[in-house]
Amino acid sequence: METVNLNISDELKEAIKIVKLDEKIIERVSKDEGVNQIAFLILALSSIAASLSTFMIPNDFININLDFTALNFIKFAVFDFVLAIMYIYTMAFIAEKIFKGPANTHGFFRSIAYGSIIKIANLIPVFGLLAGVWYLVIQFKILKKIFKLQFHTAILTMIIGIITIGLLGSILNQFGFNILDANNLE
C-alpha cells in the first residue's frame, strides 16, 4: 500500500475553494481516494463547530434549556457527525438509484465533506444561517457536478434526503434517542 503525504493546510485551502464552488476542485477531491481521512477530519471539525454553536443559542430563543457540559457537547457533535454521514450517503443513494446518476458515492462524500467546512461559520452567530443556506448551495452544485443531475433532480434529491433524515430522526426519537431533550442529555 502506497503511503501518501497529505498537507492538511493545502487540503483546507481546497475545502475553501469548494465553498467557493470551484468545479475543478470538486472534481479533483471526488476522484482522490487519498483524501478520505481529510474528508472525515473536516466533517468532524464541522460537527464540533455545529455542536458548540448549538450551545451559543439563547435558551429562550429555542425554548429548550440546554446545559453546556462536556458530555452534552460530545453527544451533539457525535450526533451531528453521524447524521451528516447518513444524509450524504442518502443523497448519493437517491442520485444513483432513483435518478440514475453515475456511481461515485465515495467521491460525492469527499466533496461534500470538504464543503462542510462552511459549518465552522456557525460559531459566528450572524453568519450561522447564511452558512447553512450556502451549504445547501454547495450540496446542490456538487450533486449536479458529481452525479450529472439536472437542476430539478438535484433539488428533488436534496428534498428527499432532508425528509428521509427528518423521518429517521423522528423514528430515533420514538425509540428514546432524543438529542434535543434536555432531560436525556445528562
The 8-class DSSP code of residue 98 comes to: I
Q: Is residue 2, in this structure, part of any structural domain at all?
A: no
pLDDT for 61: 53
pLDDT averaged per 10 residues, the chain (length 186): 66 95 96 94 93 69 61 82 92 94 91 95 84 95 95 96 87 63 47
CA distance 164 to 9: 35
For residue 98, is it within any domain? Answer: yes
Residue 102 lies in a domain: yes
How far apart, in whole angstroms, are the C-alpha atoms of residue 46 and residue 142? Answer: 18
What is the reported pLDDT for 97? 93
In terms of residue numbers, what domain contains 104? 8-185
What integer pLDDT is reported at residue 184 of this predicted model?
47
pTM of the shown model: 0.85
pLDDT value for 150: 94
Is 150 part of any domain? yes
118 located within any domain? yes
- For the record, the C-alpha cell of 125 comes out as 452567530
To which H or E segment does residue 142 belong? helix 125-147
The reply to whether 3 falls in a domain is no
Give the total number of structural domains in the chain.
1
> What pLDDT, on a 0 to 100 scale, did the predictor assign at position 182?
46
- Asked if residue 91 belongs to a domain, the reply is yes
pLDDT of 186 reads 45
1 is a domain residue? no
**Looking at residue 62, what is its pLDDT?**
53
* Nearest-angstrom CA–CA distance, 150 and 122: 30
- pLDDT for the residue 51: 84
